[in-house]
């Protein structure tokens, strides 16, 4: 893909001469609208069920609400200011790290404007679902004890001041984009970002009362497995949609996503069957998500062989993160957002540099495309991992304390936590049985 075309896809049409202006393609437009709907389905349905099934019955409704309402708040924040901060332009040297406010409230964008071969409004909505699911991922680390009001304030601010700058640096014309970072659909921007934010919040909010001495069994493994299945289905919009059109690259992403995920599910089962002597449905569902996360940054860049390795290793890393690292370090990441999303996403980001095909028609501009410099590409991937990790870490801490100050503290009181957040906060029960 020529760099000017990629820039066009990222809403920099001023770089393109008038006579080369793209024309609307109805097939690409239809595919991008469907992809947007698929990514939306991943969160209020897929991720909410995946998380809800893993929590205790007295908190299942609150867990669902954290995802469902958090997604909505984040999407609103995205349209108001997040999009502009991610894909707008800032004055001077600031543009290397953050976009400006030139498109605040989508100012200056007409309904007839195009991003590549489909409407800019569709691109805005598509990218907004990415921002919103990143916020929702982080909620999995602090369910059952974070105040709902604090979470909503956090989601709004974090979308604009943490997610948007990272998206700009990697995708929107920032310095990592210019360096040639390869992140096809969000290994760094979405999964590392959301997973690490979750871990930071888990440490700041503190452990659940009784953790880890009291058994906190999942309410319904069946709901979790259903959520994983919906995530897998919706992920085709996430990955294949990131080809920005109904084209051959989308086909590559669709196939690599499927094979990596299937391999990851079986790998997780084999590991736990070997170690714990029981192949669990929860393990299979966790393997599915680990595989989806790991292949996300590589989906449109690798072949089937690379996808198999990415999925298998991503599952191994996710398993040991959940089963052993969590116990070793003692943190209470309630639903393992860090163990699966951050760790598998980190592996996927690095593996993209290792396994990306040296095919000039697949790659974005970067060391590997420019000169076949494999090690140079790996170093760029490592740079993006380090930068995203640092920005997420610092930014999440700052935003949490701001949100806590606004809402009078970040954690529910002991009585609310004991009774359960469903009745104490929402006045409802997830299950009236």
SS (H, E, C) 417-428: HHHCHHHHHHCC
CATH number at residue 76: 1.10.3430.10
User: In total, how many domains does the chain have?
Assistant: 1
CA–CA separation, 410 and 206 (whole Å): 10
CA atoms within 13 A on the CB side of 72: 9
| CA torsion through residues 142, 169, 36, 109, sign | positive
Asked if the structure places residue 124 within a domain, the reply is yes
E-strand stretches of 26-159: 114-115, 118-119
What local confidence, expressed as pLDDT, does residue 18 receive?
Answer: 42
Q: What is the pLDDT along the chain (433 residues), one digit of tens a residue?
A: 334 334 444 444 443 344 466 799 999 999 999 999 999 999 999 999 999 999 999 999 999 999 999 999 999 999 999 999 999 988 778 899 999 999 999 999 999 999 999 999 999 999 999 999 999 999 999 999 999 999 999 999 999 999 999 999 999 999 999 999 999 999 999 999 999 999 999 999 999 999 999 989 999 999 999 999 999 999 999 999 999 999 999 999 999 999 999 999 999 999 999 999 999 999 999 999 999 999 999 999 999 999 999 999 999 999 999 999 999 999 999 999 999 999 999 999 999 999 999 998 899 888 999 889 999 999 999 999 999 999 999 999 999 999 999 999 999 999 999 999 999 999 999 988 7
Nearest Cα to 179, choosing from 388, 402, 330?
A: 388
What local confidence, expressed as pLDDT, does residue 22 receive?
Answer: 79
- How many angstroms separate the Cα of 30 from the Cα of each of 35, 36, 117, 128, 247? 9, 10, 11, 17, 12
Asked if the structure places residue 121 within a domain, the reply is yes
What local confidence, expressed as pLDDT, does residue 20 receive?
Answer: 61
Distance, C-alpha 70 to centroid of its chain: 14
CA–CA separation, 335 and 140 (whole Å): 5
Asked if the structure places residue 415 within a domain, the reply is yes
CA–CA separation, 205 and 151 (whole Å): 11
Asked if the structure places residue 431 within a domain, the reply is no
Asked if the structure places residue 212 within a domain, the reply is yes
Asked if the structure places residue 432 within a domain, the reply is no
Asked if the structure places residue 273 within a domain, the reply is yes
Tell me which residue range forms the domain holding 109: 3-426
| CA torsion through residues 236, 240, 246, 252, sign | negative
Give SS3 for 98. Answer: coil
Asked if the structure places residue 433 within a domain, the reply is no
- Give the pTM: 0.93
């Amino acid at each position: 893909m020529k760099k000017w075309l990629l820039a066009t896809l990222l809403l920099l049409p001023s770089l393109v001469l008038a006579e080369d202006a793209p024309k609307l393609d109805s097939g690409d437009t239809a595919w991008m609208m469907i992809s947007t709907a698929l990514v939306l389905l991943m969160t209020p349905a897929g991720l909410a069920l995946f998380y809800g099934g893993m929590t205790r019955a007295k908190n299942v409704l609150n867990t669902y609400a954290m995802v469902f309402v958090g997604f909505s708040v984040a999407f609103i924040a995205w349209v108001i200011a997040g999009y502009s901060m991610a894909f707008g332009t800032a004055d001077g040297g600031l543009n290397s790290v953050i976009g400006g406010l030139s498109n605040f409230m989508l100012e200056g964008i007409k309904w007839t404007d195009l991003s590549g071969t489909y409407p800019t409004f569709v691109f805005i909505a598509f990218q907004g679902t990415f921002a919103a699911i990143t916020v929702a991922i982080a909620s999995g680390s602090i369910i059952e004890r974070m105040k709902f009001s604090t979470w909503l304030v956090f989601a709004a601010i974090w979308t604009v001041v943490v997610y948007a700058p990272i998206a700009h640096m990697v995708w929107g014309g920032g310095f990592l984009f210019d360096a040639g970072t390869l992140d096809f659909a969000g290994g760094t921007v979405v999964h590392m970002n959301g997973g690490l934010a979750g871990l930071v919040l888990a440490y700041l909010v503190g452990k659940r009362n009784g953790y880890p001495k009291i058994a906190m069994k999942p309410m319904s493994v069946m709901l979790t497995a259903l959520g994983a299945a919906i995530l897998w289905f919706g992920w085709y919009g996430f990955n294949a949609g990131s080809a920005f059109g109904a084209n051959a690259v989308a086909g590559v992403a669709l196939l690599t996503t499927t094979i990596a995920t299937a391999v990851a599910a079986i790998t997780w089962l084999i590991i736990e069957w070997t170690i714990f002597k029981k192949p669990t449905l929860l393990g299979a569902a966790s393997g599915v998500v680990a595989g989806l996360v790991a292949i996300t940054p590589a989906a449109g860049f690798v072949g089937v062989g690379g996808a198999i390795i990415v999925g298998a290793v991503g599952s191994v890393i996710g398993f040991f993160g959940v089963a052993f690292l969590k116990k070793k370090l003692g943190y209470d990441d309630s639903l393992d957002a860090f163990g699966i999303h951050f760790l598998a996403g980190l592996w996927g980001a690095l593996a993209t540099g290792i396994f990306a095909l040296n095919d000039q028609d697949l790659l974005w501009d970067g060391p590997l495309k420019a000169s076949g410099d494999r090690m140079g590409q790996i170093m760029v991937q490592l740079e993006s991992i380090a930068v995203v990790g640092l920005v997420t870490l610092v930014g999440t801490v700052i935003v949490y304390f701001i949100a806590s100050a606004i809402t009078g503290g970040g954690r529910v009181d002991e009585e609310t936590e004991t009774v359960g957040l469903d009745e104490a906060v929402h006045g409802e029960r997830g299950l009236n049985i």
